[in-house]
Structures are given as structure tokens and as C-alpha cells.
Structure 1
Amino acid sequence: MDANGEELAPAVRSILAAARDRAGGEERLSVDARSFPAAVADAEAEGRVPVIAEVKPTSPTTDGRRDDEPVDLARAMVDGGATAISVLTEPDHFGGTPESLARIREAVDVPVLRKDFIVQESQLDLVASDLILLIARFVDDLDALVTAAEERGFQPLVEVHTREELDRALEAGADLIGVNNRDLAQLEVDLDTFETIAPHVPDDVTLIAESGIGSAADVRRMREAGADALLIGSAIMDGDVTENVRRFTTA
């Protein structure tokens, strides 16, 4: 079950159980983060749709695995116009590693998001990144974890799926919010989720649409609904990542 006592899909339960057992870093990090809102503004000024392109070797919701060198993938995504790079560091279900993130962040000049299932403060200290994902559904004390992330210099991106989670994120002071179109109970994707929640997000929050974006039409739909940026994984990893990113950033 999640922090709200709700049932999760079996794959998600397995991911969360592993996350609760995973050790954190041994020393408290201090991060000099690259500004994601500034990167979004730069992309807009240059006429690009702001896209966070995701380096995701595999996942429970996709078939197969991609074993390209992660740094090469990230550089290719930046060449296609990616505003930021998301890197999975969850090892058991997504094939990610903190080492890959560290090498990618050294190799690119755009903000890098650490995407993982962080449930306790010490796990913030595993590897430096510019943004760090905090999933409201999985975190018992969201206020404390947002504060702990900010104290280290991270820009916390708080992921929500419901109005109740959005309210928790806003109460915790989040100014970067991602709406996940995927329901973690059934693993079903519905772009209506973003369209339902977006009108309730304050204008001074940077709003990101996540999951289920697979076409230029999806990009336009999310942008019209209020997305400042989009996080796209599988649709970019499937094929030529540079061309795929370019297709979305010019939609």
C-alpha cells in the first residue's frame, strides 16, 4: 500500500518495497543546481517545447531493454533540443544507477533530474543532481522531505496524480509539480488526469505533464491544458533519440 493506505499494482508494490530497503548516502550532499525554470524559459525563448527527456534502460511497463551507453543517449537527447535530462537511478526494476546519473550530469550542460522512489531523507544523499523527484503518493511526511531536499540545494519536483496529492504538494511549498497521467494502482494512462488537475495549479508553479505522451498531438494537448514542460521517456527511448526529442520539441 502507499502512504494513503491505498492498494498499488503488484509491480509498483515491488518497487516500493525495494525502495524502503535501499540504503542512502553516507554524507550529506550540498548541490549547486542548474535552474530548471530558467532552462524552461530559455527553451520557450528559442521556440522549443520544453521537454525533459528520460534515460530509461527498461521499466515494468515496457518490453525489452536498451543497453546503449547512458552518456551517449543523454548527449543525443540534448542534441535534439532537450531542456533537461531525467535519469533513472532505481536499479532493480528500471536498470538505472547513481553512477550513470553522475556521469551524465558531468557530460551535459542542462539540468538533470534524478528519478527514483525516495522515501527517506538519507536517500537524497546518494548522488548529486539538479532536480530530484519526490512522489507524493509514496512519501509519509512530504513537507519534511521537500525541505530536506531544498536545504541540500536540490530543486524538488513533486509528482502528483490526484487533487488531494496536489494540495499536499502545495502545502509542502512545492513550486515544481509534475502530474503523472499513469495511475499507480492499475498502471493505466489517461491524459485526462493532467487536464483535470492543471486548472487547480497556481500560475507561479512550474507544471510538468508526465507519462503517456507519445505523439505531437499529445504534446499539443498537454500544452493547451497548461503544461510548462513535458517529461517523456518510452516514446523517446524507442528509436533514434535525437530525432524523437526533436519531434516533440517542435510539435
Structure 2
Amino acid sequence: MPQNFLFEIVEKKRSSPLFRARRNLGPAFRKEAKKARKSRKFAASLETSRSIGLIAEIKRASPSRGILCRDFDPVRLATIYEKAGARAISVLTEPNYFLGNLGHLAAVRKAVSLPLLRKDFLLEPWEVWESRAYGADAVLLIAALLNNRTLTYCLCECEEADMDALVEVHTGEELERVLSLGFAPRRIIGINNRNLESFETTLETTLRLMPRVPKGTPIVSESGISTPEDVRSLDEAGVRAVLVGAALVLSGDPGKTIRYLFGKVGKIEERGA
């Protein structure tokens, strides 16, 4: 999405009465989250094999493509993803442009045993606790939306909440800013291949920024991954996992599509087969 559209999403969220009301529930979310069962380790799940892993995304719509799936069933998708060998699941919860909600996250939590990433446009630290209360094991933190102080605060809240953080960058400047904050073991760098000005995607973004990431820091490549060649190229470069959403939801047969995408990097480990 163009960068001005990214900030349109944010402004719409900030001005929402529901967002302001939920902010007041921050202490309640913290209390509920602290009663939750032990977190499933999102970052650790990406290290279970030497080969590249899959974070399979549950999304009903996108700003660029509209509704992706009219008979959308997040639990069904999650079950298929788990059986097909995904290492983790991303659940989009943004309501206005992606038609997601936190109920999807809670329902998926009950249906599968994989670690869950809440993918949304988080703006304030209390949303980390909200995410944990609804079943997330990790959250997406978009560097373009958060200043250093807020990002640092969110990362600290993740540690206290026993959660991992996927910190998303689009440019070298964002990457340098994020790395300057220091990186703990449970923080992951997500490189988004989408240009926020043109909306185009290219894997060259990941390949160009990867060498600047300290060795040992897990890297996830996001957006524009739709062919076996894409997956193989990123695997050979040392990417830990890819986040794939639209290619799976639109395919009509997500399990078959996962096997197709990962066929060139070795058989993905299916569950219950």
C-alpha cells in the first residue's frame, strides 16, 4: 500500500472510539494475559529445521486486492496450514481494510497448537497485552509507524508478556534504526518486500538488506512470495522463514499450494499424514 495509505489506516485507527475505549482496558488485558497458558515460542519454531520455514497467514481481504475469500473460515485455514507443515500462523486482525478481528485470533488459538503472530498496525504498548490476552505468541511491530521510544517500550512489554516480536522494516534506514536499539534473542527482523510508495514487491529488498543484519538474528521475508523459485532463492540466501498470505488464501487448495511452494527446498514436514 502506498505510504500515505499506511498512515491513513493508522489515523482511522487512532480516531476510532473503539480504539480509545480499548486503551482504557489496558490494565484488564495485562491481568488476563498474565493468567494465560505459557506462550508457544514463535521465534524458536522458526529454528526447528535447517531449511526455510513457513509462516502461513490468515487474511480475509487486502487493500490492493479486496476480498480474497468470500467463504472465509479462519479455523479451517489454520487447520489446513498446521497439517500442511507451517511452523507458525499469522492472523490479521485489522478490521477496516483487511476485515480481520481479534475473534479470529482467539478462535485459531483454540483450534491449533502452532505459535500465533498477531498481524496488525500496533501503535501503543498496551496492545501487546491485548494481543497476548487473545492468544498471540508474537506481535508485528512496524518500524515505519513507531518512534524509537514507543518501539523500545513495546519490545520491553513483549519480554514481560513472554512474547516474541517480529520487527518489520522496509528500508535500510529503518533497519539501521531498529538495530541501533539492540536486539534480544526473541526479536526477529521482518523484511517487507513491498515498496510503500509504488506498492510493488521485489525479493531484492530482502536480499539487499540481509547482509546488514547481525549474524544469528532470524530473518523473515514478507510479501511477494508466490513461486517455488522465490522460496528457494530466499532459502539459499539464509532467510529463516517466509510469510505467505494471499498466495495461499487465493489458491483454493492451500495445502497443495504449500507443498508446491516448498517442493524445491525439500519436502515440508506434514502433520498427521
TM-score normalised according to structure 2 size = 0.82
2: CA distance, partners of 1:200 / 1:227: 13
The equivalences for 1:1-251 within 5 A come to: 8-21=2-15, 22=19, 23-24=22-23, 25-26=25-26, 27=28, 28=30, 29-30=33-34, 32-42=38-48, 44=49, 49-66=52-69, 67-128=71-132, 129-140=136-147, 141=149, 142-174=151-183, 175-239=187-251, 240-251=253-264
**Contact 2:168 2:190 (8 Å CA) reproduced:** yes
Structure 1's unaligned 5+ residue stretches are 1-7
CA distance 1:54–1:161, change in 2 (3 Å): same
Shift of 1:99: 0.9
Tell me the alpha carbon deviations over residues 74-99 of structure 1, each in whole angstroms, 9 at most, x when there is no partner. Answer: 11111111110000010111011111
2: CA distance, partners of 1:50 / 1:165: 24
Shift of 1:121: 1.2
Q: Using the aligned pairs only, state the percent identity.
A: 37
Tell me the alpha carbon deviations over residues 101-120 of structure 1, each in whole angstroms, 9 at most, x when there is no partner. Answer: 01101211111000000011
Shift of 1:10: 4.2
1: CA distance, partners of 2:239 / 2:247: 18
**Where in structure 1 do 4 or more consecutive aligned residues deviate above 4 Å?**
none
1: CA distance, partners of 2:68 / 2:98: 9
1: CA distance, partners of 2:262 / 2:112: 18
Tell me the alpha carbon deviations over residues 122-141 of structure 1, each in whole angstroms, 9 at most, x when there is no partner. Answer: 22232321110000010022
2: CA distance, partners of 1:137 / 1:185: 13
2: CA distance, partners of 1:161 / 1:206: 16
**Contact 1:51 1:82 (8 Å CA) reproduced:** yes
Structure 2's unaligned 5+ residue stretches are 265-273
2: CA distance, partners of 1:173 / 1:245: 34
Q: Give, as a single letter, the amino acid of the residue that structure 2 aligns with 1:139.
A: L
Shift of 1:241: 1.2
SS of 2:259's partner is helix
Aligned to 2:270: none
Higher gyration radius (CA)? 2
SS of 2:89's partner is strand
Q: Give, as a single letter, the amino acid of the residue that structure 2 aligns with 1:198.
A: M
Shift of 1:171: 2.6
**Contact 2:46 2:53 (8 Å CA) reproduced:** yes
**Contact 2:140 2:165 (8 Å CA) reproduced:** yes
SS of 1:117's partner is coil
TM-score normalised according to structure 1 size = 0.89
Tell me the alpha carbon deviations over residues 149-171 of structure 1, each in whole angstroms, 9 at most, x when there is no partner. Answer: 22211101100111221122223
**Contact 1:49 1:248 (8 Å CA) reproduced:** no
1: CA distance, partners of 2:137 / 2:121: 16
